[in-house]
Structure 1
Amino acid sequence: MPPEKKAPINKKPVTRKPAVRKPAVRKPATSKKKQTKIPVQLKIAIAALLLVLLSPLYYGYILKGFVATWRWVKDWGQDPNYRTYESFNIKIPKKYTIHGIDVSYYQGKINWPLVQSMKEDEVRISFAFIKATEGVMMVDPYFQRNWREAPKSGIICGAYHFFRPRKDGKTQAKFFLQVVNVEKGDLPPVVDIESLDGVSPLKMRAELADFLNYVELKTKVRPIIYTGLKFYEDYLDTHFSDYPLWIAHYYQPKLRLDNSRWKFWQHSDKAKINGIGHVVDFNAFNGDSTALSKLVIR
């Protein structure tokens, strides 16, 4: 018998997902630029600029400008008559024209020619007070050298005694004059009184009066009294009014004292002076060169 025919089987059509193609990334066409040549003059200018920028001199000018700007900022709003002098490393009142220092063994060995030659603007060292003695026994170890060498450099000098109120005033005066030979051309002798040393103000003034009277009697010169402003206000104001004053009052544009009373003002204790290895007290004289000449012993 012939084979039986089978009914055809219906097959589902196979569906295929379309292939996803990545979009073609095209690199932008690069256009070749012409290389421009730098002119020789521009190369020279750039080289010169680099030399200036790398030069120590350039940075020196920058530093100088910075220092000047800093000084202006620091002094802004301050008294224009009280400005910083870089050489001396302190502020100095501009009102005064005669300046000086005072020294003792603390400053060590001093090169006086260097001191005398130092100058900034019109500020220079015209006078020096030199410590000679203290109490009834102590002689400053550098006094004789300073007393001999400073005048050789053209600096006007005066000697001072550090007063001890617990010791007899007349004895201290005798001791001072044994060490110091006061001569023509010197500034008047000075007595330095800074503390009571445990005695009463009355006792201190009595011993100080004995010192002053004896020195004046022997030298025929009225001594100068050195002291701090507060000590003067507390213990010496209204006393010894016939004696010239040398007042210590630091870091101020003006001395808070009647101008007619004082001759010298110690306004700083931190000055740096050529020829001296330690900081130094700096002073202003209340007057011009003519007034200083009149004060010098004749």
Structure 2
Amino acid sequence: MPPRKTSPGQLLKKREVATSKPSAKSKISKNNKAVKNIGANVFRWKVIAITVLLILLSPFYYGYILKFFASSWRWVSDLGSSSHYRTYQSFGIRIPTRYHIHGIDVSYAQGKINWPKVKAMKEDHIHITFAFIKATEGLLTVDPYFKRNWREAPKVGIRCGAYHFFRPKKNGLWQARFFLQNVKIESGDLPAVVDIERLDGVAPAAMRNQLHNFLNHVQTKTHVKPIIYTGLSFYKDYLEGYYDDYPLWIAHYNREELKAGANTNWWFWQHSETGKVNGINHAVDFNVFKGDSLQFERFLMR
């Protein structure tokens, strides 16, 4: 039987069917591409995951985050408060900002101080310009860190003043002599300071009598009125009206302003006792000077 002839139309259909069916090679190629795409996606996600992990573990990331939240918290904590009394994160306290000359006072309680670090510390315009340094107490005690602080602080440009912790039960004249035996006050220093903040069991009048003897002797020897340091309540109770012509350094903490009275002759205000300063490993008292830079210069010894 002769073979059936294939018509041209049937032949065309067979060719179309043959070309429409994918070859084995085509299937393998597509599978390889899919596998490669999956591998590339997995690799990409691994890179992203490792990058995120490295960022999260980076100290720079945490430093940035902590700084952001600290700044945000400071903004929230200061919300609604006076713009002239704000928190300074690096110093760890709120500081009255109406004043432009800031300082600290130190004693053995602050330990060994790195004065270059103290001088270098700054946030906005706040930096340490002056320091009151404890020298003596009563008739026998010399602060163990006085000589070092008195020598090292001026080397970095900090203006210094020495203070004596006054004991009302002890003779005021002898205390003044003891103080001046241990402190050499020179040009450029702040005037001598007497720290009187307790009665030690004596009558107020007896305390004032011995304090008067101390002040007179120091003024005679230095030719400048000493500064009187005291707390606001102690001043109001025992000193007000008796020493109005002496410059005062008054302690009154955590306030926007020192409300000691318009006629009070105060020039220094100790506004905090919990400050932080680079180079000092313990809390430190913070102070401001009431006047401007020219007044501060005139306040120094000649």
- Alignment TM class, shorter chain as reference: 0.7 to 0.9
TM-superposed CA distance for 1:44, in Å, is 5.9
Query: What do residues 89-119 of structure 1 show as CA deviations (whole Å, max 9, x unaligned)?
Result: 1111111111111111111111111111111
Partner of 1:182: 185
Match of 1:158 among 148, 158, 161: 161
In structure 2, the partner of 1:270 is: 274
Whole-Å separation in 2 of the counterparts to 1:197 and 1:191: 16
Q: 1:47 to 1:259 in 2, by over 3 A?
A: farther
SS of equivalent residue, structure 1 residue 160: strand
Paired AA for residue 149 in structure 1:
E
Equivalent residue number for residue 117 of structure 1? 120
Matches within 5 A, 1:1-298: 51-52=51-52, 55=55, 56=58, 57-258=60-261, 261-298=265-302
Q: Secondary structure at the match of 1:225?
A: strand
Secondary structure at the counterpart of residue 291 of structure 1: helix
Structure 2, gaps ≥5 residues long? 1-33
Q: How many angstroms apart in 2 are the aligned matches of 1:53 and 1:62?
A: 15
Name the residue aligned to 2:27.
none
Aligned residues of 1:185 and 1:297 also touching (Cα < 8 A): yes
Q: Which moved more, 1:99-108 or 1:63-72?
A: 63-72
- Whether the aligned pair in 2 keeps the contact of 1:135 and 1:167 (CA below 8 Å) is yes
User: Quick one: structure 1 residues 182 and 61, their matched pair in 2 at CA, closer, same or farther if it must change by over 3 Å?
Assistant: closer
1:206 & 1:196 partners in 2: Cα distance? 12
Q: Residues 60, 51 of structure 1: CA spacing in aligned structure 2 closer, same or farther, 3 A cutoff?
A: farther
Once the 2 structures are TM-superposed, how far is the Cα of residue 292 of structure 1 from its aligned partner? Answer: 0.7
Which string of whole-angstrom CA distances, capped at 9 and with x for unpartnered residues, describes residues 111-134 of structure 1? 111111111111111101111110
1:61 Cα deviation (Å)? 3.3
**Range 45-54 or range 219-228, more displaced:** 45-54
1:52 Cα deviation after fit? 4.6
Q: Find the residue that maps to 1:67 and give its secondary structure.
A: helix
**Distance of aligned partners of 1:60 and 1:115 in 2 relative to their CA distance in 1, 3 Å threshold:** closer
The aligned amino acid for 2:290 is N
Distance 1:46 1:98, change over 3 A: farther
* Deviation (angstroms), 1:297: 0.4
Q: Determine if contact 1:136/1:172 at 8 Å carries over to the other structure.
A: yes
Q: How far does residue 47 in structure 1 lie from its aligned partner after superposition?
A: 5.2
Give the TM-score taking structure 1 as reference length: 0.82
Name which of structure 1's ranges 257-266 and 187-196 shifts more when overlaid on structure 2. Answer: 257-266
Indicate the structure (1 or 2) with the bigger Cα radius of gyration: 1
Hey, what's the Cα distance between the residues in 2 that align with 1:109 and 1:58? 33
Aligned residues: 264
- Give the structure with the larger helix fraction: 2
Q: CA deviation at 1:259?
A: 5.5
Q: Is the 1:52–1:58 contact (alpha carbons within 8 Å) kept by the matching residues of 2?
A: no
Structure 2 distance, partners of 1:183, 1:65, is: 46
CA distance in 2, matches of 1:151, 1:92: 24
The percent identity for this pair of structures is 61
Which amino acid in the other structure matches residue 283 of structure 2?
V
Q: Deviation at 1:256?
A: 1.1
The alpha-carbon distance between structure 1 residues 93 and 236, as it changes in their structure 2 partners (threshold 3 A), is: same
Task: Give a deviation string over 1:231-268, Cα, whole Å, max 9, x none.
Answer: 01111111111000000011111111236621111111
Give distance in 2, aligned partners of 1:209 and 1:170: 9
Cα displacement (A) at 1:277: 1.5
SS at match of 1:164: coil
Hey, what does 2:16 align to over in structure 1? none
Write out per-residue CA displacement over residues 208-238 of structure 1, whole angstroms, 9 at most, x where no aligned residue: 1111011001110110000001101111111
- Give, in angstroms, the shift of residue 172 of structure 1: 0.6
Question: How far is the alpha carbon of 1:46 from its aligned partner?
Answer: 9.6
